[in-house]
Amino acid sequence: MRMNKIFIAGHRGMVGSSINRILSTEPNNTILTASREELDLTNQTQVFEFIGDHDIDQIYLAAAKVGGIHANNTYPADFIYNNLMIEANVIHASYLNKVKKLLFLGSSCIYPKFANQPIQESALLSGYLESTNEPYAIAKIAGIKLCESYNRQYGQQYGIDYRSIMPTNLYGPGDNYHPDNSHVVPALIRRFHEAKTKNLDEVIVWGSGKPRREFLHVDDMARASIFLNNIERKELDVLTSSMCSHVNAGFGSDVTIKELSELIKDIVDFKGKIIFDSSKPDGPPKKLVDSKILNKLGWEAQISLKEGISESYNDFLENYG
């Protein structure tokens, strides 16, 4: 039986490393990876030569420059430039080197700030984006449209099949726990842990605690990515269209930031109080993606928020605690 050679771009990132772990358990898969030192994905020549030198069957494009609100506000040029270059180089080099299957990993920030909830794939380009991460979102939208455009122009002639998956808020092992540049789950894990170790009486959480957010464990996201990349094209075509081909991946329900904070407080075993600073911005009141397409195809999330955050805290203790 022929081995399935798979290149995971961004294999050291949270999602890429999870995809790598799962795919590596399959005996017929040969996994190809490259560190940043070995391959600069923003360099067109390097990317073309790397992909051209290997007989690749599938690519998971999980590489990206990512960060929280603070990082997006501070480095907007870096976020749009690096992400545009990475996806353009990898997708174009894949086409030139006859790679038939590619999955592009995006983000739910592609949707308008005031999109109807739960957010359906059709909401794309229907309104204004959240200003704090607009450059990153624009780059991710471009990645979706790159995949669609190459499919439309070259799909039938060359048999290429490039797909896109849009996850909700992700968390889990390998997350970024930086005090300034992390997302809400790792940021709160670090904050509660440090408060516990310093015997503080309280933890301050930005905002009112009322906004609702959806969270998906990274291993569920990895399994969703592998599932979507390998589902039969004819099954996917029934539920998508050539110019709205991306698919959402979410947990299916949301929690308030207050509920999330209380859950993390209990898991970390912090005994003090939670103070919500209502002078800080809340962001959109609700953000929940509609995952019906992926559910109809046969995928559902498996890891509960409590189970997932417990695992995340153990990961934090092992690597940062």
Which position has the token pair 């992700």?
Answer: 170
**Helix or strand or coil: residue 65?**
coil
State which amino acid sits at residue 164.
Answer: S
Q: Are strands 202-206 and 273-277 parallel, antiparallel or unpaired?
A: parallel
Q: Is 150 a catalytic residue?
A: no
For residue 286, report the phi and psi dihedrals to the nearest 5 degrees: -155, 140
State which amino acid sits at residue 43.
Answer: N
Q: Are the C-beta atoms of residues 58 and 4 closer than 8 Å to each other?
A: yes
Q: Are strands 255-256 and 212-213 parallel, antiparallel or unpaired?
A: antiparallel
- Residues 6 or more apart in contact with residue 134 via CB below 8 angstroms: 76
Distances (CA, A) of 109 to 31, 191, 256, 259: 29, 24, 18, 22
Q: Which two tokens stand for residue 152?
A: 């439309």
Residue 60, Ramachandran bin (φ over 0: left; ψ between -120 and 50: alpha; else beta): beta
* Neighbouring C-alpha atoms within 13 Å toward the C-beta of 7: 26
**Which is the catalytic residue, given 60, 95, 111, 136?**
136
Residues involved in catalysis: 136
